[in-house]
Amino acid sequence: MTKINLIIMLFPVVFMIHEYEEIIMFRHWIDRNRKEMRKRFPKVESFFTRQGPFDYSTSTFAVGTAHEFILVSVVSFCSVWTGQYQLWFTALTGYSVHLLMHIVQWIVYRKYVPVIITSLLTLPYCIYSFVEFSRVTVLSFSQMVLWAVIGIVLTVLSVFSAFYFMDRFQRWEKGNIKNS
Q: Are 115 and 21 a contacting pair, CB within 8 Å?
A: yes
Q: Are 38 and 45 in contact (CB under 8 A)?
A: yes
As a residue count, the chain comes to 180
Distance CA 46, CA 15 (A): 29
177 pLDDT band, cuts 50/70/90, is: low
DSSP sequence for 131-148: HHHHHH----HHHHHHHH
Work out the mean pLDDT of the chain and round it to a whole number.
93
The pTM score is: 0.90
Using a pLDDT cut of 90, give the percent of the chain over it: 86
- Tell me the domain boundaries of the chain: 3-179
Average pLDDT over residues 34-63: 90
Longest dimension (CA), the chain: 58
